[in-house]
Amino acid sequence: MSAPANEALWRTIFAEGHPQLKAFQRLHSWLPSPPRCKMCFAPFRGVGGLVMRLRGKAPANRNPRYCSACDKFIRNFPGGAEVELSMMFVDVRGSVAAAARLSPTEVSQFLSGFYDAATKALIETDGFVIDFRGDAVVGVYPPGFSGPQHAYKALQAAERLLGAAAPRGPDQAVIPIGVGVHTGNVYIGTLSGAEGGIQDLTILGDNVNVVARLAALAGRGEALITDACCASAALEIESFEPYNVVVRGKNAPIAVRVMRSGGLLKASPAASARAQ
């Protein structure tokens, strides 16, 4: 089938939640252990991984971030849809300086601690990693996967990474990060490599550029959150420090709120009610 013909299917998956896929996700979530398929959450390790392999859900040879069944689905149904969702970019600060003083093996270990922490924070708040971009992790919270509270869950992940779940290097020192969180309309769907090679899920659109630039502008140990995300999460934004940022490509500054470590989500009565 062509990509346009599959648009309704992908909108159901990401905006509403496909019943069959959600059933697989619920079942697989009970089985150990990470890492998991990005689509159906099938575990790849431990007892759960053994069970999945017996059911034909081993990591795909072309793209091990998906199980073989989901990889086949992506190849058979290319395309995507425009969906309003929440996004989180997490960016390492000082990675260039770290690379200059560390060996290549040490850089790998340094970034592995960062990737592990960011991935865990996303998974534990019902999001998933959609991309690794050098020293940055891109996470998404589609309503069809994360539920109607997708914006609040993205903020929970940011708060964890700025606090107790902060990424740490091999020496257990905290890895400094900057975070951007935004809610908006994006295109989410499959993207093919050269000559129709590996297909993967990606997000595209101006809102993706906005959240990426917010992460780049955030200070160490800081998250910049758009008012759109705060509104979707039902936060009383007066509880957060306001800040205007100038984003390349935008004619006017963007109003954001600043989150730092210390449980700032608890500062908002609306957020506390949402969490209960």
Strand partners, 84: 185
Query: Are both 155 and 57 inside the same structural domain?
Result: no
Q: Phi and psi (nearest 5°) for 86?
A: -105, 145
The token pair that represents 34 in the structure block: 């990470």
Of 76, 107, 139, the residue at which a domain comes to its end is 76
Burial class (CB in 10 A: 0-12, 13-18, 19+), 213: buried
Single pTM value for the model: 0.87
Q: 38 lies in which domain range?
A: 4-76
Q: Is the domain of 69 the same as that of 146? A: no
pLDDT value at residue 265: 60
Tokens of 82: 């425009």
Q: CA-to-CA distance for 32 and 40, rounded, in angstroms?
A: 14
Residues 128 and 84 in one domain: yes
What does the pLDDT read at residue 270? 42
Do residue 145 and residue 270 come from a single domain?
yes
* pLDDT tens per residue, range 99-140: 778 788 888 888 888 999 998 999 889 998 999 888 899 999
Q: What is the structure's pLDDT at 5?
A: 80
Helix (H) or strand (E) holding 23: helix 19-29
Q: Are residues 163 and 71 in the same domain?
A: no
Are 239 and 264 within 8 A, CB to CB? Answer: yes
Provide CB contacts within 8 A for 139, sequence distance 6+.
87, 88, 89, 90, 118, 122, 127, 128, 129, 130, 154, 157
Tokens 């705060």, residue located: 230
The total of other beta-carbon atoms located within 10 Å of residue 86's CB is: 29
Task: Please check whether residues 86 and 130 belong to one and the same domain.
Answer: yes
Q: In the block, which residue shows the tokens 């299917």?
A: 9
> What is the phi/psi pair of residue 42, to 5°?
-60, 130
Largest CA distance in the chain: 55
Q: How many CA atoms lie within 13 A of 95 on its CB side?
A: 20
Quick one: 90 and 126 in the same domain? yes
Number of domains observed in the structure of the chain: 2
Q: Are residues 51 and 113 in the same domain?
A: no
**Which residues 6+ apart lie within 8 Å of 250 measured at CB?**
210
Can you give the CATH number for the domain in which 255 is found?
3.30.70.1230
Same domain for 33 and 100, yes or no, is no
pLDDT tens string, the chain, 276 residues long: the values are 567 789 999 999 999 999 999 999 999 989 998 888 989 999 999 999 999 999 989 998 877 889 999 989 988 899 999 999 999 999 998 777 777 787 888 888 888 889 999 989 998 899 989 998 888 999 999 999 999 999 999 999 999 999 989 998 888 889 999 999 999 999 999 876 545 555 788 999 999 999 999 999 999 999 999 999 999 998 876 667 888 888 877 888 888 999 987 555 654 434 434 444
**What pLDDT was estimated at residue 2?**
63
